[in-house]
Structure 1
Amino acid sequence: MDLVTLFTFTIAYAIAVLVPGPGVAAVVARALGGGFASAFPMVLGILIGDLLYLVVAVFGLAALAMHFSAVFIVVRWAGALYLLYIAYKFWTARPDAETVRARAGEHWSRTLLAGVALTLGNPKTIVFYLALLPTVVPLDQMTALAFAELTAIVIVVLLAIGCGYAFLAAAARDVFRSPVALGRLNKTAAAIMTAAAAAVVWR
């Protein structure tokens, strides 16, 4: 694919990822509540969801995906409910018993799956891949190399920006180590996570 198209896609995608939405809110809330290690699986889950939508868009499967709209509704609500569960855990956490690390006993795979569900039900992601992407990338001229290039751009850009948000939020948590400050950060994380869940289910 020509460099102009790749550059245009990179800029458009970077802007889409940078603009705060449910995904960014969930990553920030997770990092505020449990540190960078707690948020990283969420970033990976969001990345997997983005790559799935990229495949759907590139291979012209949007019409097919519409036939499974009920599945996407279930996934969206499941993701939102899990985000609310995380919000509840943050809100009720005892800050004097916590560290800046992820909670022991909460497996990373659950957070990763929450990130996937969050992305699959995120209207912003759907609009980007199924509506905006075809106006930036000539999908009718797609080759294996072009698909690999787009995939690489998605991976690099999303990991860089997602990890950037997580790192900054985790750094803010590292600054405030007193029980009172950690308690406020946990409640802030809970509020942000609740807002992310609401954004997922509200079209």
Structure 2
Amino acid sequence: MTTVSLIAYCIALAIAVAIPGPGIMALLGTALGRGFKPAFAMLVGITFGDLTWLTLAILGLAAVSELYADAFLVAKFIGAAYLLYLAYRFWMSSDAPKKTEVVNKRGIFALTLNGYIICLSNPKPILFYLALAPVLLDMSAITVSDYFVILGCTAAILLLVAVPYLLLAAGAREWLSSTRVYKWMNRSAAVIIGAAALAIGFRAH
């Protein structure tokens, strides 16, 4: 792996992450509706999902993903169904926000797992890692040390690009704290998350 190819990969990934897709929409909706910490837990899961797709690409297992296409299709619909459920919860919620939402370890794990499932069901990272990344990086020439460098760069870029989105959405949630405005904000979050679910569902065919 050359430095030039790594830089090209990092730039392409940063652009791909910065362009809002179902994953970012789900994160924005969660940050807007529940705050930064729950959204960050989901982001961790999405990051692990991205690293899973990256690992599959590096190991040359794109063919395996095609072999188990039905299983991935099921995962896509599970992710879409979860997002629709989340959208429904936000739409029906009318309570004023708490300054700090307490999320226990079980809740954090659930959000992280949901983020992971969302990423596995999202066509955007699948396309990037299994189609575009092999063009930017010579997968056959990647060593173990190269793998961990790419892994670290990928995780860092995902966090650096996505966290500002979460901070902005969570900041808006704290600022708009009246019950009436919060109800509107929850419904906005529901629409955003619902759109992400539809994007995943329609692209699953």
**What is the alpha-carbon distance in structure 1 between the residues aligned to residue 184 and residue 38 of structure 2?**
18
**What is the alpha-carbon distance in structure 2 between the residues aligned to residue 164 and residue 113 of structure 1?**
22
**What is the alpha-carbon distance in structure 2 between the residues aligned to residue 128 and residue 50 of structure 1?**
10
2:45 aligned partner? 45
Change (3 A) 1:124 1:104: closer
**What is the alpha-carbon distance in structure 1 between the residues aligned to residue 100 and residue 23 of structure 2?**
21
**What is the alpha-carbon distance in structure 1 between the residues aligned to residue 22 and residue 102 of structure 2?**
22
Change (3 A) 1:73 1:148: same
One-letter code aligned to 1:136: L
2:189 aligned partner? 189
1:49 CA displacement: 0.6
* SS state at 1:4 partner: helix
TM (norm. structure 2) is 0.94
**What is the alpha-carbon distance in structure 2 between the residues aligned to residue 174 and residue 65 of structure 1?**
42
Please give the per-residue CA displacement for 1:116-156, whole angstroms capped at 9, x wherever unaligned: 11111111111101110111001121101111111011110
Q: Which stretch has the larger CA shift, 98-107 or 40-49? A: 98-107
One-letter code aligned to 1:26: A
1:36 CA displacement: 0.2
Instruction: Confirm or deny: 8 A CA contact 1:14 1:158 kept in the other structure.
Output: yes
Give the unaligned 5+ runs of structure 1. none
**What is the alpha-carbon distance in structure 2 between the residues aligned to residue 102 and residue 58 of structure 1?**
39
**What is the alpha-carbon distance in structure 2 between the residues aligned to residue 27 and residue 59 of structure 1?**
29
Alignment RMSD, CA only?
A: 1.4
1:16 and 2:49 aligned: no
Moved runs in structure 1, 4+ residues, more than 4 A? 103-106
Where do 1:5-154 residues align within 5 Å?
5-96=5-96, 98-102=97-101, 107-154=107-154
Q: Sequence identity, in percent?
A: 38
TM (norm. structure 1) is 0.95
One-letter code aligned to 2:160: A
Instruction: Confirm or deny: 8 A CA contact 1:100 1:173 kept in the other structure.
Output: no
One-letter code aligned to 1:99: K
**What is the alpha-carbon distance in structure 2 between the residues aligned to residue 10 and residue 150 of structure 1?**
9
1:89 CA displacement: 1.1
Instruction: Confirm or deny: 8 A CA contact 2:38 2:103 kept in the other structure.
Output: no
Please give the per-residue CA displacement for 1:7-66, whole angstroms capped at 9, x wherever unaligned: 111100100111110000000000000110120111011101100000100000110121
